[in-house]
A and B are shown apart, each in its own frame.
Chain A
Amino acid sequence: MTESEPATQPRATRRINGSTAESNAAIERAYRDAYGGVLATLIRFLGGDFDAAEEALADVFATALETWPRDGVPAKPAAWLTTAARNRALDRIRRDRRQAEKLVLLEQEMTGTEVATMQLGTDGGLEDDRLRLIFTCCHPALQLDTRVALTLRTLGGLTTPEIARAFLVPEATLAQRLVRAKRKIRQAAIPYRVPLGEELPERIEGVLAVLYLVFNEGYLASAGEAAVRHELCAEAIRLASLLADLMPDRPETHGLLALLLLQDSRREARVAADGSIALLDEQDRTRWDGAEIARGLEAMDRGFAAAARLSHASVGRYLLQAAIAAEHARTIDGRATDWRAIATLYEALARIDPSPIVELNRAVAIAQAEGPGAGLALLDQLAAGGELAGYHLLPAARADFLRRLGLFTEAAAEYERALGLSDNDAERRFLQRRLAETRS
């Protein structure tokens, strides 16, 4: 499979044998669109029992594979799946005599409204359930890698082998991690709800961090199959989009979505013909995805509008990073880039999220705006701080500034240092190419 194939690889079809193409496609769509939402509703219905919900849903997907080709696809697949899976779960509980007491409780708790919500399937209740599920999967009482895996498994509907492959961990390890997570959610009573009040901003931040991690794993990963990585990016964008839809008054939800879309729009142009990373100024901008850029810019505008309605301070790191990406995305001729605006945005970013990496990026922007000499001065300050020791992009940036000043011998030495620190193949190829150029 190549990178030019569709972002979302049909997952359900891999499990389907011998049914018609049309219902295959419908099942696949239903699976992708509805899995997380239906599962979220089922988990609430089953009082937080992830395993029972997953089992019931897997069962009804198997049933759909038989009945949909024969009877036709239901008008509202999500509602059909929800109702069928709920009935399946109840049957199972009824059959299981050890769970007899639980059934009594469930039937007592199941009010008329809840039954209505379950059956409607696509109304507000379902949306709320998906939010509950996101916040539960991204609860800080779970380890970060567990949050990532659980989010992809439950909301994204990725299979355990798929997630294991994407993160290069043995399948058994990942399966075990998921089992432990679900057990902890149950035993420690991690609540199945959207956090309230003052807790909310911090928890949203946590969810955004998980989604950004999923995206970056797909976008920047130094290893792994291209196809799997691509799927992670698509999934992160889908979930970020869901979160922005469900929490439209939170600027950063739009900020993250915008950032992911704008970064992803450069995917095709980011890798040079020889497989090395093409830097921004070397990328063929006609290969950027215009539709994705448009969606990204719209999301960013919605984010700034939401921030304006709250307060100035609500412009956060994702919105600022999106604004930086947008400066590039809007510029068809790279030479026309407004580096001064970008340097200012990095300065704002450094104020809310001070980090040497942000300072390094600011130095690069300053070097573009005011010349490599000004950039070098900033890098010297950064290097003196010592925090970036061992980080290959510091010597790589130095090398670039020196090269542009015509100091080729010094530049070559810095490229060699950078090479010694990087273990990413695409990046190493890039550095080697530059090193060869400085020596010629």
Chain B
Amino acid sequence: MRYMLLIYGEETQQDDAATGDAPEISPPWMEYTNWLAREGILRGGDKLAASPSATTVRVRDGNRLITDGPYTETKEVLGGYYMIECEDLDKALEAAARCPAAFGGSIEVRPIIPMPAPAPAG
């Protein structure tokens, strides 16, 4: 079972000013990432650029609507994600609770529905 850990928290000034260069990873995050890897459950993960860099797209009545910014404007925004593979939700929640952002921010845990591989372009 794969789960997404969606990491929500308040953005700092620093996040906002980020240039897009590889961010410096603070020790707790490094430690957490290493822990996930050691547990053998890490399947992927990255930090997202600050929310002002987001663009939201939706199609309504055949028209493509583009809006500047994240899907909802809230103080807590999606800041990054991990993809992990665990036996069940209890295990995934346990792993999520160790994430540095769980202290102060929140982690949304979502099951991933496996999709069939796309057909090769022919």
Contacts and interface: CB of A to CB of B under 8 A. Distances in A.
A189 B93 contact: no
A133 B117 CA distance: 35
A356 interface: no
Contacts of B113: 187
B68 to A, nearest CB: 32
Interface residues of A, number: 9
A195 B111 contact: no
A199 B90 contact: yes
A187 B89 CA distance: 10
Interface size class of B (residues with CB under 8 A): 10 to 19
B1 interface: yes
B11 interface: no
Chain B interface main SS type: mixed
Interface in B84-98: 87-90, 93
A50 to B, nearest CB: 15
A141 B87 CA distance: 16
Nearest to B93: A141
A195 B90 contact: yes
Question: For chain A, what secondary structure do more than half of its interface residues adopt (helix, strand, loop), or is it mixed?
Answer: loop
Contacts of A187: 111, 113
Nearest to A203: B90
Nearest to B91: A191
Contact of A191 (B90, B109, B110): B90
B83 to A, nearest CB: 15
Interface string B1-35: 10000000000000000000000000000000000
A190 interface: yes
Interface in A179-202: 187-191, 195, 199
A188 B89 contact: yes
Contacts of B88: 189-191
A198 to B, nearest CB: 10
Contacts of A190: 88-90
A187 B109 CA distance: 12
A439 B93 CA distance: 60
Nearest to B110: A188
Interface of B: 1, 87-90, 93, 109-111, 113
12 contacts: A139-B89, A141-B93, A187-B113, A188-B89, A188-B109, A188-B111, A189-B87, A189-B111, A190-B90, A191-B87, A191-B89, A195-B90
Interface of A: 139, 141, 187-191, 195, 199
